[in-house]
Amino acid sequence: MALDVRIFETVSPSRFISFTIPNPNSPSHLLRVAVLDSPIHSSDSSPRVAAMLVPKHRETDWIFSTESGHLQLLLNLPNISRLILIGDDPDDISNSPADDSERLKPLVAALSPKPLTKEEAPFLIYEDDVVSRVELERSVGPYVGEMVIEDVEIEIDEVTREFRRRLRFKRTPNLVQSDIKMVRTRGEEFEPRLTELVHPYLAPMVASLSLIGCDLKRRPKALCIGVGGGGLLSFLKLKLGFEVTGVEIDPEVLRVARRYFGLEERFASVHVGDGVDFLKRLDDVDSKFDVLMVDLDSSDPVHGVSAPPVEFVAKDVLLAARAVLVPCGVLVINVIPLSKTFYEELKDVFRGVFAELYEIDVGNGENFVLVATVSIRDGNSGFSMDNLAPVILKYVDAIQRI
């Protein structure tokens, strides 16, 4: 049945339609077109539209081939009511010509709501630092769903390139769950470098250890909720000498961490289970920790990329988190706020449970690190950070009490 373009004359929040048509630049090839209307209602009488060309050879990437990836792209575009993605049909990409945005403008106009705005819908270009990528495995976990493990070559600057191994979940296609540096050992072989942190918010999380309010005469203990690829756990053990305990809800994620990301049994004791349940069951005095680090993202794609899950920051959960820490301990949590209002309310909940609250703005326009202390710090003592690299020490100066 032919598609009736009249359905596109009005914006219908959260409506998603995908179809294929002959490519105007080469009718023997097909284009995949996907149209998504924002779930956020706009009172504007002339809704704004944008189009985006899918980069060549990225047609099957979840960012461009799934509704959730499309949604996250749209939510990052302020005041856009409809985003139209245009790319080669993944089943028909051999020798397809480069897309000409000029020749696609009539298509975009036909898919735009009426009345048309006076300005033409802009054609956006998706850019990232990935030069090339090789998919190592796709896997499915009982909790996180489908995931992909990939090696990528990224461009650091005009003359420097670096190899990384990444873990991504299909439910949040635009979010890199785990990211570690890969270095060449001999020949064409690579291995993970576990004593470096490349994920943008991990160095600030580690810098937060400077707020542990006591001089430790023993091996420090860390509890990490959310393992992912295990890069943070490995770093805490290998670089700082922590005794590390991890909690990961999905056993398949843990398998991936061990096979592809260098996580070993000798680095951390990892429990498979729900992090909230683990905290509430942990009432042994001998199981107190100097730091609790939480790195969990929301599993609800409707909210776009956000962290932590709303259920984790309920008051009873934060009370359980405080209970597993020593009196001089700290809770460190990665936050990607849903909104400014949500973030302010989140901080108020923390202030109601912990003695002091600190913040690090990671500076990437997305992540914040919140650090909550069990007790008021006297400023005269603290965890030694002598063996941290300067790239982490610089974040110590960025810690602000709020």
In the structure, what pLDDT confidence band is assigned to residue 136 with cuts at 50, 70 and 90?
Answer: very high
Q: Would you state the pLDDT for residue 321?
A: 95
Q: Would you state the pLDDT for residue 125?
A: 86
Beta strands at 243-248 and 269-272: parallel, antiparallel or unpaired: parallel
Residue 214 predicted with pLDDT over 60: yes
pTM of the entire predicted model: 0.86
The rounded distance, in Å, linking the Cα atoms of 178 and 158 is 25
Q: Which CATH architecture has domain 5-125?
A: 3-Layer(aba) Sandwich (3.40)
Whether the Cβ atoms of residue 303 and residue 336 lie closer than 8 Å to each other: no
User: Listing from the earlier edge strand, what are the strands of the sheet with 26-37?
Assistant: 16-23, 26-37, 82-88, 49-53, 123-125
Instruction: Say whether 201-401 and 5-125 share the same fold.
Output: yes
DSSP designation for 303: G
Could you report the per-residue pLDDT of 156-189, keeping only the tens digit for each? 888 889 999 999 999 888 889 999 999 988 777 8
User: What mean pLDDT is reported for the chain?
Assistant: 88
The rounded distance, in Å, linking the Cα atoms of 360 and 392 is 12
Give me the CATH topology for the region 201-401.
Rossmann fold (3.40.50)
In the structure, what pLDDT confidence band is assigned to residue 387 with cuts at 50, 70 and 90?
Answer: low
The rounded distance, in Å, linking the Cα atoms of 13 and 42 is 9
What is the residue extent of each domain of the chain?
A: 5-125, 130-192, 201-401
In the structure, what pLDDT confidence band is assigned to residue 45 with cuts at 50, 70 and 90?
Answer: low
Place of tokens 């390139």: 161
> How large a percentage of the chain has pLDDT more than 90?
59
Helix (H) / strand (E) element for 148: namely: strand 145-155
In the structure, what pLDDT confidence band is assigned to residue 24 with cuts at 50, 70 and 90?
Answer: confident
Q: Would you state the pLDDT for residue 192?
A: 93
Q: How buried is 157 (Cβ within 10 angstroms: 0-12 exposed, 13-18 middle, 19+ buried)?
A: exposed
DSSP designation for 98: P
User: Comparing 115-119, 222-226, 346-350, 355-359, which segment has the lowest mean pLDDT?
Assistant: 115-119
Asked if residue 251 has a cis previous peptide bond (ω within 30° of 0), the answer is no
Residue 380 predicted with pLDDT over 70: no
User: Comparing 48-52, 90-94, 274-278, which segment has the lowest mean pLDDT?
Assistant: 90-94
In the structure, what pLDDT confidence band is assigned to residue 1 with cuts at 50, 70 and 90?
Answer: low
Q: Would you state the pLDDT for residue 156?
A: 84
The rounded distance, in Å, linking the Cα atoms of 304 and 251 is 25
For 187-261, strand residue ranges (E) read 190-193, 221-225, 243-248
**Mean of pLDDT values over 23-30:** 80
Residue 66 predicted with pLDDT over 80: yes
Among 285, 283, 343, 359, which Cα is nearest to 310's?
343
Could you report the per-residue pLDDT of 282-339, keeping only the tens digit for each? 876 567 999 999 999 876 655 556 789 888 889 999 999 999 999 999 999 999 988 8
